[in-house]
Amino acid sequence: MKCSVLVLLFFLLQISLFAQDSLWNRLLELPQGKTRQISPQFYSSWRLNAEYSKLKLTQHIQLPDPNGKLLEFELSPGHDLHPELEQQFPEISTYRLKSKQNGYGTLVYSTFGLHAQVFSSTGIFFIDPVFNTSTEYYQSYYTHAFKKPQQFAFMPCETLPTAAYDQFKLHQTVSGICTGNVLRQYRMAIACTGEYAKAATGLQNPTIAQTLSKIVVSLTRVNGVYESEAAIRLQLVPSETLIVFTNPATDPFTGNSNANVLINESQTVITNTIGSSNFDIGHTFSTGGGGLAALGCVCYNPAKASGITGSGNPVGDPFDIDYVAHEIGHQFGGNHTFNANSGSCNGNTNSSTAVEPGSGVTIMAYAGICGSSDNLANNSIPYFQAISYDEITQFSHYGLGAACTQTLSTGNQAPQVWAPVSHVVPVSTPFVLTGMATDPDGDPLVYSWEGTDAGVTPAAWNSGQAPFFRSYNPVASPSRTFPTSAVVLSGNYKGTRGEYLPSVSQTLHFRLTARDQKSGGGGLCYANTEVNIEMAGPLEITYPSTTGIVWASASTQTVLWDVNFTDLPPLNADSVKISLSLDNGLTFTALVPSTKNDGMHLISVPSVSNTNSNCRIKIEPHAGIYYTLSKRPFTIVPDLLSIPKSQTQQLLTLAPNPCQRQSKWYGEQVESLDVFNGSGQILNTYKFIKPQNQGQLEFPTAGLYLVRFKSAQGYSYIRVLSY
């Protein structure tokens, strides 16, 4: 008995020690009665062992993803604060993350707990405290899993030109910049109004340390993007605390809710307080709704602190990425990229860089704040569109931004990227762009294909004028389908925002960008390609391409398509490949490796053991990047002579069988029936208003037929021989 008790005590002790040694504990539900900072629709909930976590923030850490999995990351110093500032506030620590699954991110640990931003293969997600007043409970959520708060629905943003930036644009001829081997570091000064301090911390009397913690969370998330996207880091200056104001009654700002006033005060207060020679770029946080920034003002003494961002809820991804990163992008010379004129987009389009349809989705666009007819997404994706990358890197490498930067060697190298120079595609026909890249360091790469044509501004997304295609998060494949596979399968090439196939002749320009996504100076390079849309086409399947088509296994069928001059110059598609998909377009098997592009070909249908209603035909030329699919899925049924007996006698009878052109059927609650000929084609379909138990069938000629009955129990088949 004593032995059993000792064993039990030892077992319980091991459980207790294990529980104490665990950094994260999964929760099924969160405490009630408190206001959440962010309320995502999908998330995983966790409890953090705070004492244990401080001890474990050394070289490795486990972080929870939104699906409830713990991912392993390596930690390295973030350098978001100047070393003197770090020593002054040891309770604030910043890190860079690298996972074994090729993800990366940022992490901040402060008096407000842990905040992480992770770029993973499953998507971009955040880990934040659930409640502003507690560092115990956390939620992990994807950026797309929460709706932007109402206060972000209308966020005016303007840019102010600077004479020096205009001069730089006048002489701008640099192109082909790749990043990775050098990190450009700038001295960052972020001031804040007393209103911001109270709103960000949720406290009536916040301290400088508490307010600084919130500023650092925002800056670290911005740096996570700028480091990997443009090899730029913003480091808070040693004298940062002199411009962190925590009391609205005593701060030097009068324009908290007036952007036109605050932007001038930002330049004056930051410059006069810490000295113009002690920072390279300045910015002020407030609670006023909107942003304003001088365009290309970094390193330019008369305007380098002319940047402000304000929100009544200045926390989370909508504030950090959609607005702070956006306004800082203006300060580095980046213009707006959306092409719309509704909601907050009204009057803010920049015609030469309006390369994203509608609201756009990248950092320098207006995701979620244009009118409902233009919004492509609720939140931005944390990447720069190709044209934004050009503007920001040209400014930081060869423009004003090169005058004050500190360059640091990263030991990283940019990828080497290749894409074909040009392609020819018929109108209203899907196509696929493919390139390739290698990384000198052997780093895994992700890719994005984007359009770079501004077109008419502002233009409705379905106007038939560029831009046509939206941006997406980078993926592991160097190929992209235009429009997306989902749109191609729908057969509606003009009904989806950001996925609109051109229907008139024109030349489109695209860029393939490859990223290694390294923190501390990501490697990024690109290649451009041209797609000439010709008036020939569209290449289009006409049979099978409607609903209700059924083919029998091992039968011979005729595939028909409209050639529409695709066999003539300049397309010259004299031969095509015909393929079949049995999984609604996910994969294809070649039926005819090569045949003349003449609009018709006989094929042999492969045998299937079970009825398959997810079949599609694909036709693609050998010398092109375009293709066409059956607009609707069709059905392939087992050979009429090889249908298993179990499928022929399910609560049904048909007599006489064989019959002389007529027979009577009997069943239970039959909802509909189809009559197929020996080639698997539907001859007749009968749909009943009310389920029937019997009926009469007629067969037009002698031969073998298949009758398919549908009832509440499913499908049943009966073979019938007519003579």
Beta bridge partners of 126: 117, 141
**Average per-residue pLDDT in the chain?**
88
Q: How confident is the model at residue 509 (pLDDT cuts 50, 70, 90)?
A: very high
Q: Which CATH superfamily is domain 182-398 in?
A: Collagenase (Catalytic Domain) (3.40.390.10)
Q: Which has the minimum average pLDDT: 39-48, 112-121, 145-154, 417-426?
A: 145-154
Q: How confident is the model at residue 641 (pLDDT cuts 50, 70, 90)?
A: low
Beta bridge partners of 720: 705
Model confidence pLDDT, tens digit, residues 577-591: 999 999 999 999 999
Q: Reply yes or no on domain 540-637 having CATH 2.20.130.
A: no
Which CATH number is associated with domain 640-722? 2.60.40.1930
Q: Where are the domains of the chain?
A: 22-145, 182-398, 540-637, 640-722
Model confidence pLDDT, tens digit, residues 401-451: 999 999 999 999 999 999 999 999 999 999 999 999 999 999 999 999 999
Q: What is the mean pLDDT of residues 125-133?
A: 89
At 480 the pLDDT is: 98
Whole-number Å distance between alpha carbons of 554 and 603:
10
**DSSP strand E in 111-241: where?**
113-120, 123-129, 137-142, 157-160, 182-192, 232-236
Which of 539, 581, 535, 584 shows the shortest CA–CA distance to 561? Answer: 539
At 82 the pLDDT is: 98
Which one-letter DSSP state was computed for residue 625?
S
Q: How confident is the model at residue 162 (pLDDT cuts 50, 70, 90)?
A: low
At 500 the pLDDT is: 93
Alpha helices in 483-588 (DSSP H): 485-490
What is the number of alpha carbons within 13 Å of residue 223 lying toward its C-beta?
Answer: 32
The three-point CA angle 382-388-389 to 5° equals 85
Radius of gyration of the chain (CA): 31
At 337 the pLDDT is: 96
At 3 the pLDDT is: 42
Q: What is the mean pLDDT of residues 513-520?
A: 90
Phi, psi of 123 (to 5 degrees): 135, 175
Secondary structure (DSSP) of 549-579: -EEETT-EEEEEEE-TTTTSTTT---EEEEE
Q: Is the pLDDT of residue 175 over 70?
A: no
Model confidence pLDDT, tens digit, residues 348-364: 899 999 999 999 999 99
The three-point CA angle 363-366-368 to 5° equals 115
Beta bridge partners of 68: none
Q: Is the pLDDT of residue 137 over 60?
A: yes
Whole-number Å distance between alpha carbons of 706 and 558:
20
Q: Which has the minimum average pLDDT: 40-54, 139-153, 360-374, 453-467?
A: 139-153
Q: How confident is the model at residue 721 (pLDDT cuts 50, 70, 90)?
A: confident
Phi, psi of 152 (to 5 degrees): -95, 0
Identical fold for domains 540-637 and 640-722, yes or no, is: yes
